[in-house]
Amino acid sequence: MSAPVIELDGLARTYPGPPPVPALRPASLVIEAGDYVAVTGPSGSGKSTLLHLLGLLDTPTEGRYLLDGLNTSRLSDRDRSALRGRRIGIVFQAFHLLPYRSAVENVLLAQLYNQTPRGERLQAATEALDAVGLGHRLDALPTTLSGGESQRVAVARALVNRPSLLLCDEPTGNLDSANAAALMQVLDELNAAGYTIVVITHDPAVATHARRAVAISDGVLSEGIAAGHA
């Protein structure tokens, strides 16, 4: 049995003061491969801090974070960049697509820094866009895509490297309910295909899709009620 995808052991993040702000109090959590976890909480509860820590965009002040069995807390910036580029895919609320690049070029961007052989990139990007149902809009510019389509391009970009962890930060935050439902269906399919997904949201409708719910409030992480269709 391989190691859990995520293993948090007393992970905490305090922003230096004065006064110091404990954004995330020591938290422990294990997420196995194939899990589908929703992290819910109100604004300012520490959701974003947790996302940044899980996405290796920020470093914890305390505790350990094991990704695929590897203790990331002691890694150099170079190795953390390598993990971000290979093992983690992040979907942002604001999509963060490059406006002058086509859908497929935006997906290709995720393969730029992780030594994906040049000849394999286009095929992987096309497959990823196919997987989110956008195989017919490869050359569309983000300005011509709807919000739902844009977010699905962002999902394709996150999964093109077949990461161990798909991190979604309020993925439906900028979408209407129909597009949100379509996106959640994509995430469900990805989870069914074996992807480990962590969704950070304040939307209960999104949280119901997850098999596990984790609540965060005032920086304190607590295992919530198992929700959804698990």
Partner 1 sequence: MPRPAGGTIRSTAAAGRDLQLPQPRLAARDAAAEAVAGIVQRPGRAMLTMIGTILGVGAFVAVLGLTATGAGQISHQFTALEDTTVTVEDNGPANNTAPPNTNPAIGFPADADQVAGRINGVTAAGVWWPVALPQNASFTASLALGATSSQTINLLAASPGAVTAMGLSMAAGSPLTIYENTTREHVAIIDTTTAATLGISAARLASHPAVFVNGIAYTVVGVYKSAQRVVTDESAMLIPEDTALADYGNPEPGIGNQDEAQMVIATRIGAAQAVAKQIAAAELPTDPARLVVTSPPNPQNLQSQVSGDLAGLFLVLALISLLIGAVGIANTTLVAVLERTEEIGLRRAVGARPRHIAAQFLAESTTLGTLGGLIGTCIGVGVVVIFAATKNWTAVLNPVYTLPAPLIGSVVGLLAGAYPALRAARTSPLAALRHG
Nearer to partner 1, 8 or 190 (CB): 190
CA distance 182 to 153: 13
Residue in 24, 29, 27 with CA at minimum distance from that of residue 46: 24
Give which of 172, 153, 157 is closest to 93, Cα–Cα: 172
- Give yes or no for residue 190 binding partner 1 (CB under 8 A): yes
Which of the 8 DSSP states describes residue 74?
G
Binding mask 9-48 for partner 1 (x = CB under 8 A): ------------------------x--------------x
Per-residue contact string for residues 111-150; x = within reach of partner 1 by CB under 8 A: -xxxx--x-----x--xx--x-------------------
Assess whether the previous peptide bond of 18 is cis (omega < 30° from 0).
yes
Number of residues counted as binding partner 1 (CB under 8 A): 61
């230096």: which residue's tokens? 16
By CB under 8 A, tell whether 226 contacts partner 1: no
Q: Distance (Å, rounded) from C-alpha 153 to C-alpha 215? A: 28
**Mask for 74-113, x = binds partner 1 (CB under 8 A):** xxxxxx-xxxxxxx--x-xxxxx-x-xx---x---xx-xx
Task: Look at the block and give the residue holding tokens 């098999």.
Answer: 211
Q: How far is CA 64 from the centre of its chain?
A: 19
- Residue 196 Cβ vs partner 1, minimum distance, rounded to whole Å: 7
Q: Which residues pair with 168 in a beta bridge?
A: 91, 199
Interacting residues with partner 1 (CB under 8 A)? 2-3, 33, 48, 52, 55, 57-58, 67-71, 74-79, 81-87, 90, 92-96, 98, 100-101, 105, 109-110, 112-115, 118, 124, 127-128, 131, 157, 159-164, 174, 189-190, 193-196
